[in-house]
């Protein structure tokens, strides 16, 4: 995975700009080091990370507490990700008004991805070393097998911090996610420069993905109860995933559209918007229902739902979204993934990479979550599985 993930990212970057744009073919050429290595790209990356760190350190509208840790303490997290998105947008807008050449960004994606990969390896090594001096209670359950390569990949320390600055929480939703929409915007501007105006397909991809990122940052607090934060150590998997994989592969549809314009009529665009809306409705409905229920089970919006008690004192929802399948939020996410790819037409498989990869990721993630829930809730979880037999897609899976 250490080699496969970066290799796949470079393959996609190269395939998107190649004539045939084939997902399942080797790239026509391999870029030389002079095409990959650029001190300017590294500088740009550090300026970007520095800007996001500065925005993270600004006063937050709220400071949230995470779940209880092994040593019974709780960490505190600033909730100002959406603010960082808005301030970044204002700064970019200001930059554009004084001639910031954002349209040049698509031409720098390859060296930027290379600089991000090198930075991710170096950063993960530092995190690995830092974990050696961390107390045992700060280590993650999964990344401490004694096999150096495995632990480097999975991450040894659960919540590495420098003072109150939390590296994992910072990387999860900010530089990569905001970077993704910035790359999309740059691709849209480049398309406008090349063809006079952005295509409808490019507008849809930009709009859909901006909504996704805006939603993630608006509901930033809910990341505190995800597996990434409460279970996984911070190693190469999350460092590279957050900083490199997300911005450079999730922008694949917009990259593809820049080099392979696709005609899209209004009726088809409306159909795709409806698919996106259905996906978002399920995704947001399911996530909000569970988050509200976990925060306050007597909230009027969830108080009437049927539940199963568990030995831990917590309850499991068995009606509402969580009575339809055991992971309705994954279903909504997958429908949205399809809506992001459809504007790219049906002539190429490449823009559907995200749907394929994301299906594999969520099926694997769902299996991991099932194991953890079975361990946590035992017979109550078995009862839940009996009452709600489908995992992600009703009557199919």
> Distance of alpha carbon 241 from its chain centroid, rounded?
8
x/- map, 350-369, ligand NDP, by CB under 6 A: ---------------x---x
Spatial distance between the Cα atoms of 175 and 93, rounded to a whole number of angstroms: 18
**Cβ 345 to ligand NDP, closest distance in Å?**
23
Cα angle for residues 385, 323, 226 (degrees, 5° grid): 80
Q: With binding defined as CB under 6 A, does residue 224 bind ligand NDP?
A: no
Q: Is 240 in the site for ligand NDP (CB under 6 A)?
A: no
Binding characters for ligand NDP, 364-393, by CB under 6 A (x = yes): -x---x--xx--------------------
For ligand NDP, the closer of residues 33 and 72 by Cβ is 72
Chain positions 308 to 327 lying near ligand NDP, rule: CB under 6 A, are 314, 316-317, 322, 327
H helices within 80-166, ranges in order?
Answer: 81-97, 109-132, 148-154
User: What span, in angstroms and rounded, lies between the C-alpha atoms of 353 and 14?
Assistant: 14
The single residue among 294, 357, 359, 383 that binds ligand NDP, judged by CB under 6 A, is 294
Assess 333 for contact with ligand NDP (CB under 6 A).
Answer: yes
Q: How far is the CB of 111 from ligand NDP (least distance, A)?
A: 24
* 200 vs 324 by CB, closer to ligand NDP: 324
The nearer residue to ligand NDP, 38 or 359, going by C-beta atoms, is 359
Give CA–CA dist 59/169, Å, rounded. Answer: 16
Instruction: Read off the DSSP letter of residue 157.
Output: B
Q: Does 287 bind ligand NDP (CB under 6 A)?
A: yes
> Long-range pairs for 222-225 at CB < 8 Å and ≥24 separation?
222/287, 222/291, 223/169, 223/172, 223/173, 224/64, 224/66, 224/67, 224/77, 224/169, 225/67, 225/291, 225/294
Q: Give CA–CA dist 117/7, Å, rounded.
A: 10
Stretch that binds ligand NDP, among 128-136, 159-167, 171-179, 282-290 (CB under 6 A): 282-290
- For the CB of residue 236, give the shortest distance to ligand NDP in the complex, in Å: 16
Are the CB atoms for 243 and 159 separated by under 8 Å? no
- E-assigned strand segments in the chain: 63-65, 76-78, 161-162, 165-166, 307-309, 315-317
- Encoded tokens for 236: 């190469």
Binding of ligand NDP by 340 (CB under 6 A): no
Task: Give the C-alpha separation, 66 to 53, whole Å.
Answer: 20
Q: Give the x/- contact pattern for ligand NDP in 251-270, rule: CB under 6 A.
A: --------------------
Helix (H) or strand (E) holding 290: helix 266-295
CB 268 within 8 A of CB 343: no
Closest distance to ligand NDP from the beta carbon of 367 (Å): 11
Min CB(70)–ligand NDP separation in Å: 15
Q: With binding defined as CB under 6 A, does residue 290 bind ligand NDP?
A: yes
Nearer to ligand NDP, 200 or 308 (CB): 308
6 or 103: whose CB is closer to ligand NDP?
6
- Binder among 48, 283, 352, 353 for ligand NDP (CB under 6 A): 283
Which are the contacts of 160, defined by CB distance < 8 A and separation ≥ 6? 127, 130, 131, 134, 166, 167, 168, 234
d(CA 218, CA 209): 14
Pick from 217, 329, 335, 380: which binds ligand NDP (CB under 6 A)?
329
Q: How far is the CB of 253 from ligand NDP (least distance, A)?
A: 14
Whether the Cβ atoms of residue 272 and residue 339 lie closer than 8 Å to each other = yes
The yes or no reply on residue 330 touching ligand NDP (CB under 6 A) is: yes
| Count of residues near ligand NDP by CB under 6 A | 19
| Residues near ligand NDP, by CB under 6 A | 226-227, 283, 287, 290, 293-294, 314, 316-317, 322, 327, 329-330, 333, 365, 369, 372-373
């Amino acid at each position: 995975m250490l080699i496969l993930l970066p290799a796949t990212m470079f393959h996609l970057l190269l395939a998107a700009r190649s004539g045939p744009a084939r997902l399942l073919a080797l790239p026509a050429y391999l870029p030389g080091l002079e095409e990959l290595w650029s001190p300017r790209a590294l500088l740009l990356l550090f300026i970007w990370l520095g800007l996001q760190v500065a925005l993270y350190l600004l006063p937050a509208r709220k400071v949230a507490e995470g779940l209880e840790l092994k040593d019974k303490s709780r960490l505190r997290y600033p909730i100002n990700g959406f603010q960082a998105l808005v301030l970044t947008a204002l700064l970019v807008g200001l930059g554009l008004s004084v001639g910031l050449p954002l349209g040049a960004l698509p031409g720098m994606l390859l060296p930027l991805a290379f600089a991000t990969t090198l930075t991710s390896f170096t950063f993960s090594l530092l995190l690995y070393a830092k974990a050696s001096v961390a107390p045992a209670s700060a280590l993650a359950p999964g990344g401490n097998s004694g096999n150096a390569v495995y632990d480097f990949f999975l991450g040894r320390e659960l919540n590495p911090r420098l003072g109150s600055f939390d590296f994992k929480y910072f990387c999860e939703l900010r530089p990569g996610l905001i970077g993704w929409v910035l790359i999309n915007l740059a691709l849209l501007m480049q398309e406008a420069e090349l063809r006079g105006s952005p295509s409808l397909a490019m507008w849809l991809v930009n709009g859909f993905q901006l909504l996704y990122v805006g939603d993630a940052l608006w509901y930033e607090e809910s990341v505190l109860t995800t597996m990434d934060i409460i279970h996984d150590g911070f190693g190469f998997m999350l460092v590279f995933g957050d900083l490199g994989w997300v911005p450079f592969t999730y922008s694949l549809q917009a990259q593809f559209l820049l080099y392979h314009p696709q005609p899209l009529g209004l009726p088809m665009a409306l159909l795709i918007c409806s698919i996106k809306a259905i996906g978002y409705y399920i995704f947001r409905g399911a996530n909000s229902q569970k988050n509200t229920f976990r925060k306050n089970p007597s909230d009027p919006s969830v108080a009437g739902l049927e539940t199963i008690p568990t030995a831990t004192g917590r309850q499991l929802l068995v009606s509402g979204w969580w009575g339809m399948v055991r992971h309705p939020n994954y279903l909504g996410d997958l429908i949205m993934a399809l809506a992001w790819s459809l504007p790219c037409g049906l002539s190429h498989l490449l823009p559907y990479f995200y749907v394929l990869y994301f299906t594999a990721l969520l099926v694997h993630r769902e299996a991991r979550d099932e194991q953890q829930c079975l361990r946590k809730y035992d017979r109550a979880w078995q009862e839940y599985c009996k009452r709600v037999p489908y995992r992600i897609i009703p009557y199919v899976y």
